[in-house]
Structure 1
Amino acid sequence: MRSTPTHRHTLHRLVIGAALFLTPFAGAHGQSKTLPADTRFFTPLPPTGAAQQVEGLLEQGKFKDALLLTTMETVPQAVWLTGGTTSQVTSTVTTTLVEAHLERAIPVFVLYNIPGRDCGSYSAGGAENTADYETWINAIAAAIGSQKVVIVLEPDALADLPSDCGYNPAQVNIAQLTADRYTQINYAVTTLEAGSQTLVYIDGGNSHWQAVPIMSARLAQAGITQAQGFFTNVSNFNLNNYESKYDTWVSECIAFANNPDNGGWRLGNYSYCASQYYSPLGTVNPDDITTWIYTDEWFQQNLGTAEPVTHFVVDTSRNGQGPLDASIYANAPYNQPAAVVQTLTNGGWCNPPARGLGTHPAASTGISLLDAYIWVKTPGQSDGTCDAAGGARAWDYTDYSQAQWPTDAAGQAVFDPLWGLDDPIAGSWFPQQAIDLAQRANPSLLP
């Protein structure tokens, strides 16, 4: 049976009813620019793909899996604003605010419309130019008004600047595009933060991407002092302890480079900061948090009188089992060569299998600078086609294949051997991944 709007809204009513029953009201409409510990975040209408999959599972008699996915949809998640006309985005924001008010909850909006989005890769798109982008931002700010909302502003926009995209300088003015990116983010921060209860967080990448000094300097240039803070781990899989430690260092590095203590030798020198990749006090391994003590020690010795005050939030929607360990594909029965394993590792951000839903959204974190865990990436939606053609996958089919897998070069170029299928395009529902995330959730979705 095909899902219809009626079926989808029926599932939504069940989701909302369960959410309201399970969670006490959290005072979503307070007047301060903070997230109280008892904050309730908004649970949006389930994606059409989720409703269709639940119906299909019920028809197949797979009641536990249907319950798992239904329960997943009771967990608060972000609402993505990815483009559209000003009237369209105004309508989406306004409708969401009404629904959030009925839930007595605070919505999380993800703004994902920056010009040159995703370096033209799987999630390519965005506004045509700075003027169009600013007009779009103005429409969102006007629609929000004085309502309390959280804004996750442009994932990857700072961790993946135009200068990181590998553009041909003979064809593209890379310096101008990069300068424009900072102009766009600064404008968005200033405009949106003018809302009396709008909390804006800007892109901080994740703990296995840009080094602490680089990310700290970029955040400063993008207007972090005018924002509520920054976010990390969006659409990624790093464990909470890695993210919160990395984020704390970024906050400390920002404080360090703005500390005039002892003659001001720290001022503007973000590059001095130790990181997840390097500390002068000992060898640091980005994949082994036990080695991060050397970076902790560096900050303890060099912060001086500076106090870190930059706050952050972390996306925990899919990090329940941590990041993909692609080294398993070097072993039997796959027996993939080192070059393939390295490519799989580099593409581990793109629909990795055997992950799980992570910590549920909450503003009570136990970490002073960590304002909240939130679900930003919509669980069950594809990261992209994740294939060899796009660079996220590689595979030696002579070492391992299955009978139904493609045997021609064209078919293999768009095939994902980790799932054994052609992945859906970015943003489309990925039913195999959705149920896998729900089954491997940490904490478990069901008692």
Structure 2
Amino acid sequence: MTGRTVIHRLLVASVAALLAFALAPAVPARAASTNPLAGRWGLYTGTWDRTYPAYRHARGRQKRLFAKVALRPHAAWFANPDLGKLVDHLGEYIRNTQHGDPNALVQFALFHQWPHREAGRHIPMTQQEQSAYRTWIDTAARTIGNTRAMVILEPDLALDAPSGHTVDRGVRLSLVRYAAQRLSTLPRTTVYLEVGAPDWLKAPTATRLLVDAGVRYTRGFAVGGTHHTSVGADVDYATRIVSRLARSGYPGKHAVLDTADNGRPFTYQQSARKYPRPRFHAVGICRTKRERRCITLGIPPTTHVTGHRRALHLTRRQDARLAAVVDAFVWMGRPWRANGGGTFAPKRLLQAARTTPFR
């Protein structure tokens, strides 16, 4: 074989390889090998949130119903400003979720309580309060350390709301940016900024909030927390935000969708039409499997987000969008607690487990 023949064959092979690459179907942005949430998820079996003890002590059908929550990974909320309790509770939660397996994913949400809560939007944060926020985040970061973790971080109360104007929006957003950057430096932690749902903020407003809150440092954002919109509406919303973030200079962002309590999806506006004096948290747990505009368990948490078109009433385009931008369905909401966030309410849990359309 002459040198010219060898060169010719190499050129032909190179062109063929380039054509094969160019004509190959696009790989979804969240291929399993690049999804940081893929792999084993840990299950909390401690006593802190009371769901697992309720399952352990139940019998018969009640045990099977409790299992629908207790045996599925769901994100605990950490918001107590007491640093000692934060370290103790978070450390215990990590230990009783991983059970000695460092590769088991631990999921939780960090919601540091702003001073004076929602009613205090008109009161600027003092330097001492700002320092306390950063110290709280630093303490959480040190406690997490090398843990393989998914963290949902809330920038809420940095926006104006019907309850009042936020006088120091820039200060609060700078603190959330600090938290996003600090937590994202942890070697095995994946951070998502909570951004509400499509019935709350329009996509342009949500995008600006994420940029101001430090989405540049994070994997992306979380959609649907404490709201009950459908998976289809949530993935369309997430896709619009991802596109806007890319145009703003932050490409490749991903989302997680909260499906803990949207088994019978509805919007805030629909709930307001159902109740004479609308309160979002006044919406009750579904009493039957046929009732609508009520709260019940949604599709179980998983990174396998496609292949559920019929069960979730999705279009093919929405299913493709799930593959492209969504890392996982997660359970961040807590419909088994009073008003979705109070004390553990076993009767609510059992009722939600009975009425869910999902096994």
The TM-score with structure 1 as length reference comes to: 0.59
- Which digits, 9 at most, give the CA deviation of each residue in 1:299-326, with x for residues without a partner? xxxxxxxxx5211111111111212799
* 2:305 is equivalent to residue 365 of structure 1: yes
* 2:7 is equivalent to residue 64 of structure 1: no
What RMSD, in angstroms, separates the aligned Cα atoms of the two structures?
3.2
TM-superposed CA distance for 1:87, in Å, is: 2.5
Amino acid at match of 2:344: W
2:302–2:330: 8 Å Cα contact kept in structure 1? yes
- What does 1:174-253 align with in structure 2 at a 5 Å threshold? 174-176=166-168, 178-253=169-244
Amino acid at match of 2:129: N
SS in 2 for 1:163: coil
* 2:293 is equivalent to residue 353 of structure 1: no
Amino acid at match of 1:341: Y
Task: Report what 1:113 is aligned to.
Answer: 112
Task: Report what 1:95 is aligned to.
Answer: 92
- What does 1:148-187 align with in structure 2 at a 5 Å threshold? 148-154=148-154, 157-158=155-156, 160-167=157-164, 174-176=166-168, 178-187=169-178
CA distance 1:341–1:133, change in 2 (3 Å): same
CA distance 1:364–1:46, change in 2 (3 Å): farther
* 2:37 is equivalent to residue 40 of structure 1: no
CA distance 1:165–1:138, change in 2 (3 Å): farther
Task: Report what 1:83 is aligned to.
Answer: 80
SS in 2 for 1:213: helix
TM-superposed CA distance for 1:182, in Å, is: 0.3
Point out the more displaced range, 64-73 or 74-83.
64-73
Q: Unaligned regions of 5+ residues in structure 2, if any?
A: 1-32, 287-294, 307-322
Task: Report what 2:330 is aligned to.
Answer: 374
Distance in structure 2 (CA, Å) of the matches to 1:383 and 1:179: 31
- What does 1:248-263 align with in structure 2 at a 5 Å threshold? 248-258=239-249
TM-superposed CA distance for 1:382, in Å, is: 1.8
Task: Report what 1:341 is aligned to.
Answer: 275
CA distance 1:44–1:247, change in 2 (3 Å): farther
Amino acid at match of 1:109: F
Amino acid at match of 1:119: E
* 2:310 is equivalent to residue 311 of structure 1: no
The total of aligned residue pairs comes to 296
The TM-score with structure 2 as length reference comes to: 0.72
2:111–2:153: 8 Å Cα contact kept in structure 1? yes
SS in 2 for 1:108: strand
1:33–1:196: 8 Å Cα contact kept in structure 2? no
1:33–1:198: 8 Å Cα contact kept in structure 2? no
Q: Which has the higher helix share?
A: 2
2:78–2:109: 8 Å Cα contact kept in structure 1? yes
Report runs of 4+ in structure 1 exceeding 6 Å deviation.
324-328
CA distance 1:44–1:161, change in 2 (3 Å): farther
* 2:336 is equivalent to residue 431 of structure 1: no
Amino acid at match of 2:66: L
Distance in structure 1 (CA, Å) of the matches to 2:277 and 2:86: 37
CA distance 1:37–1:198, change in 2 (3 Å): closer
Amino acid at match of 2:167: A
Q: Unaligned regions of 5+ residues in structure 1, if any?
A: 1-31, 260-307, 329-337, 385-425
- What does 1:15-30 align with in structure 2 at a 5 Å threshold? none
CA distance 1:107–1:56, change in 2 (3 Å): closer
CA distance 1:206–1:114, change in 2 (3 Å): same
TM-superposed CA distance for 1:51, in Å, is: 6.5
